[in-house]
Structure 1
């Protein structure tokens, strides 16, 4: 049978109010009494009812985290940053996978809010009107993690994705490349996909290079789509001398397709991307990429959320963290 606070009180010979004060770390309990209560709790195996405590205090010390794809290597490092700060401020987190599907994202958001979480972190991609409606009607604070909405209405922590892409493509241009293809992700996502495409386009324009739409293929973030896009580029009459991939995973797919066709990276075709996942340094040649501070994005997002939940003073709600170009072995001069 479930052990209740009444059972602990009877075992320790104290009132239920005293047990409640001990469980909630109220300092107004004598050390000897506190010791008796903890001994009773240990003997009986009592576990405080977090739901009941949450109903009483109107706080559950729980944060809901919506993640786009649990198999995405980026998610793990961002989630670690979230969890470390959550633990520091005594919050538990509930991770909910949404499979990058809008309907499931909305459903997961509403489910977490129904569970009376104290705050919500959203790590998804495209922020639609339906998302904004769910966020606006939320009774608890919401922070966007690694993305932002087009109108900058919801607090967010991310990087400047357009500038990150610009820096990647400019590195290729500085190495003498003029025929630069892009493996993009959906352009329907203004915060990341379209922003990275815009960075690619702006870098070409600033260098006086013409953007050929045949040099842009849309992938789905994954390795296989990088292979497929690269296969398309290699079939063209004039193949690119360099490829900018919007994600590391697609870039690795591109590298392997180049090698499967008997060509070399970077001697025949250079490859660069964005993210800096662990696999970027494991692939051969090692991948040159623009690093997102993924752990910091998670940690800063969680800290911003704790400030909102506790109504602390906040200087800014739209936070851009710095990115960094990591030069390895996949880019060569032409």
Structure 2
């Protein structure tokens, strides 16, 4: 049978109100009484009913997190930052994978709100008008994590993706490369895929390099699409001397395709990316990349959400964290 608060009170020889104060960390309980209640809880194996506590306080101390792809290492690192800060502020996490599908993302958002979460973190993915409508109907705070909405209506934590891409391509240009191809992400993803394409385009324009349509191909962020697109680049009459990839995973696919053809990185073609996941140091040669502070994005997002849930003062709802260029052996000077 389920052990109730009444059973604990009877076992400890105190009132149910005293047990409630102990369970809810109320300081107005004598240390000796608190010890007696905890001993009774341990003997009986009592577990407080979170649902009942939530109904009483109108708080569940639970945060919903929507993650676009749980198998992607970059989102796993963001989730770790979220979890650490959530634990620090005594919140539990409900993590939901949405498979990068808009319909599933919106369904998951609505499900989490029905579960009476105290706040919502929407991680990655394109924020469409349908997302905006779902967020606007929320009675709890919503923070966008590793993404932003076009109109900047919702609090968000991210990097400047356009500038990150610009810095990566400018590095290739500084190394003497003029024939630079790009493996893009989804161009419908304004805050990520399209922004990185814009950074690539602006870097070329600002250095007087013509944008060549055949040097730009859209991938799906996955290893296999990096391999497929590099195969296409190698079939061009004039091959690029360098490739900028929107993600590490596609960049590694590109490197392996080059090696399959007996070509060397960076001697034949240099490769650089954005993300700097652990995979960047596992591939050979190690991959040069613009590092996103993924753990920090998760941690800062969760901290911002805790402030909003507690109605604390927030200086800035839109947080842009710095990125960093990490040079490794996949890029070679061509000048």
CA drift at 1:13 = 1.5
Matched with 1:210 is: 210
**Alignment match, 2:23:** 23
TM-superposed CA distance for 1:53, in Å, is: 0.3
In structure 2, stretches of 5+ residues that fail to align are: none
Q: For 2:63, what is the secondary structure of its paired residue?
A: strand
1: distance between equivalents of 2:222 and 2:296?
Answer: 23
How far 1:15 sits from its partner (Å)? 1.1
CA deviation digits over 1:262-305, x for unaligned, max 9? 11100000000000000101100000000000000000000000
Partner of 1:68: 68
For residue 87 of structure 2, what is the aligned residue in structure 1? 87
Matching of residues 47-126 of structure 1 within 5 Å: 47-126=47-126
- In structure 2, the residue matched to 1:144 is 144
1:192-214 Cα shifts (integer Å, max 9, x gaps): 00000000000000010000111
Structure-2 residue corresponding to 1:190: 190
- TM-superposed deviation, 1:332: 0.6
In the TM superposition, residue 144 of structure 1 has moved relative to its aligned partner by: 0.4
Counterpart mapping for 1:1-334 below 5 A:
1-334=1-334
1-structure distance, mates of 2:256, 2:36:
65
Q: Which runs of 4+ in 1 moved over 2 A?
A: none
Query: TM-score with structure 1 length normalisation?
Result: 0.99
Measure how far apart 1:11 and its partner are. 1.1
TM-score where L is the length of structure 2: 0.99
Number of matched pairs: 334
Superposed CA deviations along residues 308-334 of structure 1, whole A, max 9, x for unmatched, are: 000011110000000000000000111
CA separation in 2, counterparts of 1:305 and 1:26? 24
After TM superposition, give the deviation of residue 124 of structure 1 in Å.
2.9
Alignment deviations for residues 17-61 of structure 1 (CA, whole Å, 9 cap, x no partner): 111011111111222221221111111000000111011000011
Listed one character per residue, the Cα deviations across residues 127-151 of structure 1 (whole Å, up to 9, x for unaligned) are 0011000101100000000000000
The 2-side partners of 1:174 and 1:316 are apart by 35
- 1:232-255: per-residue Cα shift (whole Å, max 9, x none)? 000010010000000000000000
Give the SS at the match of 1:272.
strand
- For residues 109 and 257 of structure 1, what CA distance do their matches in structure 2 show? 39
**Partner of 1:192: helix, strand, or coil?**
helix
Corresponding residue SS for 1:40: helix
Instruction: Please state how far the C-alpha of 1:257 moved relative to its aligned partner.
Output: 0.4
CA distance in 2, matches of 1:275, 1:59: 36
